[in-house]
Amino acid sequence: MPISAAQRAALITASALLLTAGTAGCSDGSRKTAPPASNGPTGLDRLAAQKLEWAPCLPPNEAEGGGPAPSPLPGGGSWECTYLSAPLDYAKPDGGTVDLALIRAKARDQSHRIGSLIFNFGGPGGSGVSGLPSFAGDFESLRSRYDLVSFDPRGVGRSKPVECLSDAELDAYYALDFTPDDAAEQKTLSDAQARYAAACQKNSGTQLPYVGTENAARDMDLMRRVLGDSTFHYFGISYGTELGGVYAHLFPHNVGRAVFDAVVDPKAGVVGGGLGQARGFQLALDNFAQDCLNRGDQCVLPGSSVAEIERFVTDLLASLDKKPIPGIGSRQLTETQATNGIAQSLYSKEFWPYLEQGLDEADGGNGALLLALSDSMNGRDQNGAYSNLQAANAAINCVDYKERYTLDQARAKLPEFRKASPVFGDYMGWGIASCAHWPVPGTWQHPDVSAPGSAPILVIGNTGDPATPYEGARSMVNALGPGVGVELTYKGQGHGAYNSGNACVKTTTDAYLLDGRVPKSGTVCR
């Protein structure tokens, strides 16, 4: 079952960071008109008065993940791209600016247009400019009355991307052992993480303090003003729910109709978030193993129980820790890359057959498929070029969160993580130290998303979500405050609910966004 280019792109959209398939980009020539003269408005008012010049979209650049230009819209029409100028530092709105890449598909029925519906597909670090066209079919019903709009957040894709290591250096970096077994391996990992952070500082140091979620939320409100919308209509997925929550806290009275799908727990913090993902991926692996057993002799994995299949997985990872196997070309499959590839394929039930095949082939000494899955998680294409998704992810997470766990402190937490997941515990546990050497201080212990006075926000949780566990939806509803969060539960598998194919979720969400019908909080879709 070889993996096609189209399937590889689809896998990227399902990654732990909700990576987005590269299918569109902004034209470098798409610019706004010149700002008003110096004797006119200043600061944010001046920037809010800028006029956008939309132009046909070019194919995405390397930082966005590459790929072709977007296909024509259903029923005709084309995607449009432009740039919007925002303050680099909102504390100094008359200072330097950063240009943000935008993409738009105009509403089919302009006479009944509600406004712009702004999307963030997650990460942090995913390109909305390349992501929105890849999901166009799923959101076509919403284009009936909304202009569908997305963007590359600051530091991402075409929006002055954070740059760290070269492609060759990233190949070596991702081949490292991220679950060290002794002091020597721990030092090797620590030194590599320090070099990575130093490269980010060298290549993108001036922008690192300004790529955080709070600035991205302020960018979205400026976007609302420039697009001419009196209220902010929003669809956030995965990390996009955290970004949307921060927006609602900062601008509660500007919120119009908003949907949060695949919800990040705003109260979890670094350790809580890591533990939640360890449990979530373990649950997804349990469900995968049970599905394999339910198919009887068609399942190629050894074992007659979920525990036996998972013991096979842990034994395979332990073997790879001692000796990597051939992967793709001269590259080998390591324990870390195999763990990464397993996690990648658990984001959607659609990709479980690739996981089964990849595990079986790796057991026979062929690591190509699991390595391809890991590559898609890391934003590497078949030609060896990396998008800037992981660099942006590190930059945004590390400027957002204050915690700076060392590897020694992470090691002390391992028993708790191993209890959460025998397969993913070590990987997630060591991962809490990823910002140890970051050159810029963090902002918060956890984001404040309280939004008194906001319009209702539809919060959708999926009971089988591996990356943003179901409990995060209830936590978000509680944190938003009374009368704001409206909880909708989807009893299904995979990361997110709206694009799952479940008719109940789609109908309920569309009725809210298009007609303003707020469902009863606690509604369940099966």
Q: Which residues are the active-site residues?
A: 238, 465, 495
User: Exposed e or buried b for every residue in 99-136, given b needs 16+ CB within 10 A?
Assistant: bbbbbbbbbbeeeeebbbbbbbbbbbbbbbbbbbbbbb
DSSP state of 37: P
CA distance 317 to 336: 8
The runs of H, that is alpha helices, within 304-444 are: 306-322, 335-345, 352-363, 368-378, 389-400, 407-420, 425-431
DSSP state of 519: P
CA distance 379 to 394: 13
Contact 310, 460 (CB under 8 A): no
3-state secondary structure of 61: coil
3-state secondary structure of 259: strand
Q: Where are the beta strands (DSSP E) in 46-164?
A: 55-56, 80-87, 97-105, 115-120, 146-151
Helix (H) or strand (E) holding 99: strand 97-105
DSSP state of 446: S
**Closest to 64 measured CA to CA, from 178, 142, 162:** 162
The tokens for 402 are: 């204050």
What are the Cα distances from residue 280, in Å, to 26, 107, 433? 36, 37, 20
The tokens for 224 are: 């609302």
What length does the chain have? 526
**Closest to 437 measured CA to CA, from 130, 190, 182, 186:** 190
The tokens for 444 are: 């918060």
The tokens for 378 are: 């890391």
Helix (H) or strand (E) holding 471: helix 471-480
CA distance 248 to 208: 24
CA angle 518/519/525 to nearest 5° reads: 145
Q: Please report where in the chains the tokens 């590897």 appear, as a residue.
A: 407
Largest CA distance in the chain: 77
**Closest to 9 measured CA to CA, from 486, 372, 422, 271:** 372
